[in-house]
Structure formats: structure tokens, C-alpha cells
Amino acid sequence: MHRRWPVLRGCIRTHCTMATLEQTKEIFRRADAVCFDVDSTVIREEGIDELAKFCGVGDAVREMTCKAMGGTVTFQKALTDRLSIIKCSREQVNKLLTDHPPQLTPGIKDLVDRLHERNVKVFLVSGGFRSIVEHVASQLSIPHDRVYANQLKFYFNGEFAGYDETQPTAESGGKGRVICMLKEKYGFEKVVMIGDGATDLEACPPASAFIGFGGNVVRPQVKEGSLWYVTSFGELLKELEKI
Ligand SMILES: [Mg+2]
């Protein structure tokens, strides 16, 4: 299969540079870039579950999402399976955004604004869908070229036609691949990943540090695996005020 994003040489994946809570906080205060997961991190819900509910297949898809989170199936298979049930049209996606726009997690707007003021580049790196994530990015004044997410495909009449399987976020380990690419493209030295899920934790390394977020849902294995685990964005904002 053709891959648009090859595994980049020179991107260190063998060890994580973060070692202690204090070092993690230090990296966050001095970060060149911060990458946020979206579902259950920047927004309160899981986008694909909301889309499924809106399309009338909420229960079946929620069960599959739980399985995917538990890591018993590959990310790509879980995504393909769920979308084959949802089969949303372009119109349904647009109507979801109008009728049930994604709900921002309290404190995220202040945090992103503060990061922007400090000239830190903010990225949204999501296993969810670009059309939904771009809507979130607009609310946070994040340029759309800093959004990495999966792309739904539609036929000319708006019917569901699958998704773009060549996006790095369509595969297990995809978030790490995006971070490698960002480091190479922009020359970032310190990149922080923030998220609630196992795929976010796995992105460090190549991320320089990982911050676990439990403000919407607490996933025990992520909490245990995080040197720094927070349940509100206010905690991160407070840390930034130290320098
Ligand atoms: Mg998430």
C-alpha cells in the first residue's frame, strides 16, 4: 500500500527523554509545540460516538469504540468497522455540526490562547474526522494546516464513500508518526503531547513529554503511565505562569 507518510529516519523512538515530573513540567513550559488529542481531551465527547448517535447507530458503535480503546483490535480495523455501520453522508456530518456542535472542555480556550501568546505552535492530532476537528480548531483560532485527522470521503452526491487510508492518523502509531513529521518539518526540539488515551501516551517518544488528561474520562492505564496527569486545563495554565 502506498504510504504518504513514511517512517522518518532520524526520529528517535527508542527512548523517551522525559524522566521525572519536574522535567516534564519544564519541557511543557519551554515547549516549541504542543499537540492536543481532540476526543475526550479538547472536546468533552468522542466525535465518532456523537456522529453514530446522530446517524441512529449509537449503541453498536459505542461498544466498538470501547473495544478499540482497550487495544484488542487495530486502530484501522476499528475505524473501518465503525464507519461501515455509520455510513454517514456529507449532509449528516454538516447537520451534526450545526445541531450538536462539539463541546469544548472548560479551560481549553484560555490555555490555547496563552500558548499562542507565548508563540508556541498548537496542533490538533486526532484519530477523529477532519470536518469535525476543523470546526474545533476554528473555535480555538488554530489554523487548519495544524490539524491532523482522518478524512471522510463522499461520492459526488454526498453519500459515504469511505475514508482516506493514507493519512498517518488512520493507523495504530499514527500520532507518533505525525509528531516525527512535525519535528522534521519545523525543526521543533520540544514537542509535548496531551491526551486521555493510549494512542496519545504511545506518541511519547517521539514526543519529548506526555501529559495525561483526565478531565473528561479517566483511563487507568494512561493515568498509571503518565508522569504528569491532570484533570483540568487550569493546572497547565498555572504551570505556564511560572515563567
Ligand atoms: Mg481522546
Question: What pLDDT sits at residue 81?
Answer: 87
Distance CA 148, CA 233 (A): 21
- Tens digits of residue pLDDT in 180-189: 999 999 999 9
Beta bridge partners of 213: 230
Looking at residue 5, its pLDDT comes to: 46
pLDDT at 240: 87
CA of 226 to the centre of ligand 1 (A): 15
Rounded distance between C-alpha atoms, residue 241 and residue 64, angstroms? 41
Nearest CA to 18 out of 31, 5, 8, 6 is that of 31
Residue 211 CA to ligand 1 center (angstroms) comes to 12
Around ion ligand 1, residues with a beta carbon closer than 5 Å are 37, 39-41, 196-197
* Centroid of ligand 1 to alpha carbon of 78 (angstroms): 15
Active site residues: 37, 39
Gap between the Cα atoms of 89 and 79, Å rounded: 16
> What are the pLDDT digits (tens) for 119-149?
999 999 998 899 999 999 999 999 999 999 9
- Given a cut of 70, whether residue 3 has pLDDT beyond it is no
- Residue-range domains of the chain with CATH: 21-45+103-152+164-240 (3.40.50.1000)
